[in-house]
Amino acid sequence: MKPLTILKATATATVVMLSSTQMAQADTLRLLTWGGYAPDDVVAAFEEETGHTVEVTLSNNEEMIAKLRATGGGGFDLAQPSQDRISGPQAEFGIYKPMDLSQLNGDQFIASMLEATKTNTTVDADVYGVPHVWGTSGLVLDTAMAASVKDYTDLCSADVAGKVSYRLKRPTLIGFAFAMGLDPFAAYGDEAAYTDIMSQVEAKLVECKPNVKTYWGGGDELMNLVRSGEVVASMAWDTGGWKLNSEKPDVTFVAPASGALGWIDTFVLPAKGRADTAAYDWINFVMQPEIAAMITNTAGNFTASQGADEFVNAELKANYQASFSSAAVDNIKWYPPVPAGLEVIEGGVLDRVKAAK
């Protein structure tokens, strides 16, 4: 064989070897996610069906953003930050790549959640996230003792005087604002308008203060107050209400008339991910209702998979369907990214409410 022929053959072999290596890499999905979102049985089923392998790294919002910032969006092929951790980091650091929505089976998503997440994760007309696991805060009530409570401001009614509890935190401010017919999220970009809304909420919370048994600080504290009957109406998370329901059938989570307040953990593609096909395959796989139900049974929170509630365990199914009609799901107020400066406004309101006599 002539030297030139040998050189060509060697180059061809090298290209084949490199292509094989790249294909092998593309078949491995490096997933950066939360505990419970990628159960072993789901991973095994995905690997068997698709031929991909999955490497799971467990993390949280702060660590996810830190890891992706440190590598410029490298090291992982799919990540799951909350939706309020996407547009800001993308605009500042460029750590994600746009989603190709044509690669997803959109019919598998609850439509209102998909649209809300697309809106909240859009940067320069590109969508960077789609929804996965979600949860809400709203009302946890003893329905036998607090039947008249339908919305956040009903916590101020005489029917539940002295038996109310909520936190002095942002969700209370936001929830009361919506129940008062105001839209705090629409005012996020207008500091003066947001200050005005918070002033109205402050006055309501000061007026409501005599109704409050205590401002709870931790979940266990609130659970014990409800268990003892000292509190019959409160603001808390859906999973806490459902846990209490297993102990006290009259206690459960109720979606407020003005809308529960919702968080969503998403799917995003890191900027330097190298296995986009495997990433889209994973999203489409886990959003199937039966597979999504397996994740809910492990994590305890529901997913944005349309119809998955029909396949979860009987207790979770009953709790979810009792708390959330289709209209209540569509009425959830999803937290958008918080602009700089609002925490100072909120902090002042909360301090004054706490100090009020």
**Which residues, listed in sequence order, are joined to residue 253 by a DSSP beta bridge?**
140
Tokens of 200: 């109205």
Tokens for 341, please give them: 């400066």
Judgement on whether residues 31 and 98 belong to the same structural domain of the protein: yes
30-86 pLDDT, tens digit each: 999 999 999 999 999 999 999 999 999 999 999 999 999 999 999 999 999 999 999
3-state secondary structure the chain: CCHHHHHHHHHHHHHHHHHHHHHHHHCEEEEEECCCCCCHHHHHHHHHHHCCEEEEEECCHHHHHHHHHHHCCCCCCEECCEHHHCHHHHHHHCCEECCCHHHCCHHHECHHHHHHHHHHCEECCEECCEEEEEEEEEEEEECCCCCCCCCHHHHHCHHHCCCEEECCCHHHHHHHHHHCCCCCHHHCCCHHHHHHHHHHHHHHHHHHHHHEEEECCCHHHHHHHHHHCCCCEEEEEHHHHHHHHHHCCCEEEECCCCCCEEEEEEEEEECCCCCHHHHHHHHHHHCCHHHHHHHHHHHCCEECECCHHHHCCHHHHHHHHHHCCHHHHHCCEECCCCCCCHHHHHHHHHHHHHHCC
* 276 and 179 within one domain: no
CA dihedral 164, 165, 166, 167 (to 10 degrees): 150
Q: Give the pLDDT confidence score for residue 330 in this predicted structure.
A: 95
Separation of alpha carbons 272 and 25, rounded Å: 13
Give the pair of three-digit tokens for residue 113. 């959640």
Q: How far apart are CA 32 and CA 56, in angstroms?
A: 6
Give residue for tokens 């994590």: 299
At 137 the pLDDT is 96
User: What pLDDT, on a 0 to 100 scale, did the predictor assign at position 338?
Assistant: 86
Total structural domains within the chain: 2
Residue range(s) defining the domain that contains residue 53: 3-134+262-331
Same domain, 303 and 222: no
For CA atoms 247, 154, 254, 235, give the dihedral sign: negative
How high is the pLDDT of residue 339?
A: 87
304 and 158 within one domain: no
Are residues 246 and 344 located together in one domain of the fold?
Answer: yes
What pLDDT is recorded for position 341? 86
Q: What are the backbone angles phi and psi of residue 262, rounded to the nearest 5°? A: -120, 145
Please give the angle made by the CA atoms of 254, 258 and 262, to the nearest 5 degrees. Answer: 70
Regions of the chain with pLDDT less than 70: 1-26
Amino acid at 212: V
Task: Supply 245's token pair.
Answer: 């329901």
Q: Is 176 in the same domain as 66?
A: no
Whether 281 contacts 50, CB under 8 Å: yes
Q: What is the pLDDT of residue 160?
A: 97
Query: pLDDT value at position 340?
Result: 81
CA distance 291 to 62: 28
Q: What is the CATH number of the domain that holds 159?
A: 3.40.190.10
Q: State whether 217 and 168 are in the same domain.
A: yes
**Contact between residue 335 and residue 262 where contact means Cβ atoms under 8 Å apart:** yes
User: Does residue 81 sit in the same domain as residue 187?
Assistant: no
For residues 196 and 307, membership in a common domain is answered with: no
Whether 205 and 143 map to the same domain: the answer is: yes
CA distance 303 to 307: 10
Helical packing angle, 276-286 and 40-50, nearest 10°: 120
Instruction: Give the pTM.
Output: 0.87
Same domain, 267 and 194: no
Same domain, 245 and 267: no
